[in-house]
A and B are shown apart, each in its own frame.
Chain A
Amino acid sequence: MKLFRCHFFGSPYHLLGLSLQVVLLILLLSNYTIAQNSDEKDSLPNDITRLKVFTNIKNLILCSILLLFSGVTLAQNIHTIDSLKKVLKTSISGTKRVDSYNSIAKLYRESDSIQVAHYTNKAIQLAKRVKYPKGISTAYVHLGWISLIKGNYKTSINSFQEALKIADSIQFKKGIADAHAFLGVVFTKKGEYAQALLHYERANIIHQEINDKEGLAYGYNNRGDIYRRKGEYPIALEHYQQSLKIFKKIKIQKGIAYNYFDIGHVFRIWGNHSKAIEYFQKSLTIGERTKDKRGIAGNYFQIGLIHQSQGNYSKALEMLKKSLRTRKEIGEKEGMAVTYNNIGDIHRMRGNFKKALEMYQKSLKIKIQIGDKGRIAVGYLSLGQLALSNKEIEVAKKYFTQALTLRQKLAQKDLVAEAKIFLGIAYYSQKSYKKAEKNLTQGISVAKHTNHISSVRNGAKYLSKLYEIIGKPQKALENHVLYKQMEDSLFNRKNTRQITQLQERYDAQKREDSLKQHNAHKLLQAQIKTQKANKKTAITIFGLISLGVLFIVLVFFYRLKQLNNQRLQSANKEIKAKSEIVKKQRDKLAQTLQKLQSSQTQLIQFEKMASLGQLTAGIAHEINNPVNFISSNVDSLRVNLQDILKVVDAYEQLTPDNTTQQLASIVALKQEVQYQDALDEMADLIQGIEDGSQRTTHIVKGLRLFTRLDEDVLKKVQIHENIDTTLMLLQNQYKHRIKIEKNYGDLPLIDGYPGKLNQVFMNLLVNAIQAIDNAGTIKISTGLEGYQQVQITIQDTGKGIPFHLQQQIFEPFFTTKEIGEGTGLGLSIVLGIIEKHQGKIEVESKQGQGTRFSITLPIEQINS
């Protein structure tokens, strides 16, 4: 009995354990009595009877434990496994031993496949020896399950079929149904939906017959998966909700979590991101409580996808990497493949094609290895998009077509639409407008039907552009409106805000939970301590029987209590005082924070002033030059005109009488006022005024761009114009010294904050100019980076940044200039601005050779 005392001690089940012990004790006694009675009747040898009684009790204990733990959640898995292992050490019957092996295997299913294999093998061997087919069947189901997770579908099918065969031969109903259900899951994963539905149907009939609620619930969920994969989302949702209802009724947490997850998935596809996240977080909470690693990884993955589609790439990457880690840990191949693919997508979006390709290839390799056709199609689609970004359109078309064919074979309606739309985009970028129009139109129509919002959005975007090019403005407009509608439903502010809020709420809840757990743990420890203390006291009291001693003890306790009270009071005082101090510290911190914030604002302002200061020098010079010759020329024109008018006057005084004399004096006058010089230079003077005023206008226009530093409205920005303006304003700093090589690509207008982007170019160009000591070159190149981004690189032949400083240059207050010369905020503000534009900035530098800054900016700003 000691074994069980240890086991139940201190656990919340310890009351139950106690009553169990009482029951066992009674049973033991009654059994023993029966045995003794039968001893008389059957006259069996005494020791055999005793052995029998003993075995009976062992079985009873085992049954009780199994009974007790069937209701305990998975959180108790380890606990349960431990006690099951202990049971195995005792001498129980062969069949019970097989059951125990299988039970342990099942408990390891979500976390440790090696253990599953180990225990199922033991179960199968023993079951064969003791001729216990039911045990073999169950073991094969577990084996099938781990192959399924690892993506070995063939092995998995073999195992489930073996389980089915054995269960069928002994008419083990639940075994038959479960095997069918699992076969359905494998066929679903293989994309053979008809086959899968057939198995589900059979499982369903038997589950109903034996009234297996859990089996029925899983059945609904499984069929929901098929409908979801086929793009019939409303039906899928109905199934999930039905399954959820049953799981809630029978209180199976794992099932509830899975359905929350699946429902979230459907909402994500429908673009209802806030609702989707809500479901994923519910599922995640349960997953974490029940330590279901597979479920946790799945939820992280889905949440990552939402962040990805909202353009929060770093958050998305964080989630996906979390998911990948867990999936690697439990060897979930299918999940790993999918996660690699999406991490690849993010790298692609960020313009890191090399890394993207690497991830896609890793993903595809696993997918081909496990033969998941549906996911292979996804892989082709991704590779196609990558090729498109790389402008390898023929390759892209090849991949899109492969994906399309595969999906058509799998009858995945909305996904066929998605592939068609991509194929259309490929044709569009090849200017094969007819084929593009056909594919896009078909794709959009199906995607609309299945409510696949992101596909409709993508398709409509390109179809609108296409119609604009081929001169069908009405249709272009229609599609643009459709595109905007879809975009709004995906990215509206409310949606984004809700997602952030939900994420925050979830994080807060999690913190609170862990705090609670910590407190509960402490409480438990305290209880154990008290219990130990109580025991000691009892022994003391038992030792001291005499009343007098008791009295002394009582007095002692009374005093102790008084002392305790005093201690408590002083402790209370201390706490009060301490909380006073904490409060003061908190107030002080708040003050400091406020001060810091205001200094930060001041510093940013200062940095702005510094860059303005840099400007003034340049501008003053650039403006004063033209102003100089304009004003001088105007003055000269006036003087010249006076001189010319003198000559004109002289001509007017010309009369028939004084012709000869007057003409002679006119010649003299012309000589005197340098008449010919005045006439000759008039054209030059006017030209100077014209050029000068044009130049000043230009500068003022440029200045206006710069005064927009604070403007917070998204505009369409012509990047080249901004760079040129900045260059013009900086002319005095580089003219005659540094060669500017422009290598401008064909850039579209991009969404951006023009003033802020100017600040970026100003900072980078000033840095480049200052890095070049004497003569040198600054190369400015621009170009498209894939479909959705532009890239600007500014490369100088200056002194370069030492390697050990390259990590720091974007940090605030980092400066290599003398104190007072720079704020050290320039590049950190640049980084801030680039991040505000959802872009990225990278630096490459070699000391003595120069520095290259590359900026990547999205053409369209989403999310704001």
Chain B
Amino acid sequence: MEQLNILFVDDELHNLNAFKSAFRRDYIVHLADSASKAMEILAAESIQIIITDQRMPDVTGVEFLKKITPQYAHTLRMVLSGFSDSETITQAIKDKTVHHFINKPWDKQIIKSIIAKAFAN
């Protein structure tokens, strides 16, 4: 099976490093430390999965996903957060901007199984 391209967005450098080392064996990992950087990567690469942190300097994770959803509707979109603080995430899941919500600290296996399930067919 061809490896999936995954884009991980987080403003915290340590999280980017951690994500890459955790998932580089299973996917082709692309990293972005801001929403704008993420847009560039989305334009340049063919990305199947987007995982973003909720709390970021310029826009929140949900806002970022809302913006790109029309253009990249086929992607699998997930939001990561340290604290399930908002109704916005629940709302975003309802209107299918976000497919999954994951709490920090993440469980590698859960993320992998979500992806596996989504791309089973």
Contacts and interface: CB of A to CB of B under 8 A. Distances in A.
Interface of A: 617, 620-633, 635-636, 639-640, 674, 677, 681, 684-685, 687-688, 691-692, 732, 735-736
Given A622-B82, A625-B15, A626-B14, 16 more contacts: A621-B82, A624-B83, A624-B103, A628-B18, A629-B14, A629-B15, A629-B18, A632-B108, A635-B22, A636-B21, A640-B21, A674-B24, A677-B24, A684-B17, A685-B21, A732-B55
B106 A628 contact: yes
A688 B105 contact: no
Nearest to A623: B82
B19 to A, nearest CB: 7
Nearest to A673: B25
A632 B106 contact: yes
Contacts of A627: 104-105
Name the 3 nearest CB pairs between A and B, nearest first: A624-B82, A621-B82, A636-B21
Contacts of A687: 14
Contacts of A635: 22, 108
A625 B21 contact: no
Nearest to B54: A621
Given A622-B82, A684-B17, A629 B12 contact: yes
B18 A636 contact: yes
A674 B25 CA distance: 8
A315 B8 CA distance: 64
A674 B23 CA distance: 12
B66 interface: no
A629 B83 CA distance: 15
10 contacts: A620-B83, A621-B85, A623-B82, A624-B103, A625-B12, A625-B82, A628-B18, A628-B105, A633-B14, A635-B108
B17 A625 contact: no
A634 to B, nearest CB: 10
B70 interface: no
B18 A688 contact: yes
Given A633-B21, A684-B17, A688-B17, A628 B55 contact: no
Contact of A681 (B21, B82, B103, B105): B21
Contact of A736 (B18, B58, B83, B104): B58
A807 B22 CA distance: 57
Contacts of A735: 55, 57
Contact of B104 (A624, A633, A685): A624
A624 B105 contact: yes
A640 B58 CA distance: 34
B20 interface: yes
Contacts of A640: 21
Nearest to A736: B57
A269 to B, nearest CB: 62
B55 A632 contact: no
Contacts of A736: 55-58
B37 to A, nearest CB: 16
B19 A632 contact: yes
Contacts of B104: 624-625, 627-628
A685 B18 contact: yes
A633 B20 CA distance: 10
A626 B21 CA distance: 16
Contacts of B25: 639, 674
Nearest to A732: B55
Nearest to A619: B83
Given A632-B22, A636-B22, A620 B82 contact: yes
Contacts of B15: 625, 628-629
Contacts of B19: 632
B17 A621 contact: no
Interface string B53-97: 001111000000000000000000000011101000000000000
Contacts of B81: 621
A456 B82 CA distance: 59
B84 to A, nearest CB: 9
A502 B85 CA distance: 56
A504 to B, nearest CB: 52
A633 B24 CA distance: 13
Q: Which of B12, B14, B24 has the most CB of A within 10 A?
A: B14
Contacts of A621: 55, 81-83, 85
Given A624-B103, A625-B12, A674-B25, A632 B83 contact: no
A713 to B, nearest CB: 33
B82 A685 contact: no
Contacts of A625: 12, 15, 82, 104
Nearest to B105: A628
Contacts of A622: 82
Contacts of B83: 617, 620-621, 624, 732
Residue among A622, A636, A684, A736 with the most chain B CB within 10 A?
Answer: A636
Contacts of B108: 632, 635
Contacts of A691: 14
A561 B119 CA distance: 112
B21 A692 contact: no
A750 to B, nearest CB: 34
A373 to B, nearest CB: 69
Interface in B1-59: 12, 14-15, 17-22, 24-25, 55-58
Contacts of A684: 17, 21
Nearest to A691: B14
Contacts of B24: 674, 677
Contacts of B20: 681
A622 B104 CA distance: 11
A677 B12 CA distance: 20
Contacts of A639: 25
A640 to B, nearest CB: 7
A183 B28 CA distance: 106
A202 to B, nearest CB: 90
Nearest to A636: B21
A626 B108 CA distance: 16
Contacts of A617: 83, 85
Contact of B17 (A626, A674, A681): A681
Contact of B18 (A620, A624, A632): A632
A626 B10 CA distance: 13
A773 to B, nearest CB: 16
Nearest to B17: A684
A617 B86 CA distance: 11
B17 to A, nearest CB: 5
B101 to A, nearest CB: 14
A674 B21 CA distance: 11
Contact of A632 (B56, B57, B85, B105): B105
B14 A688 contact: yes
Contact of A692 (B14, B82, B103): B14
Contacts of A628: 15, 18, 82, 104-106
B63 to A, nearest CB: 12
Contacts of A677: 24
B15 to A, nearest CB: 5
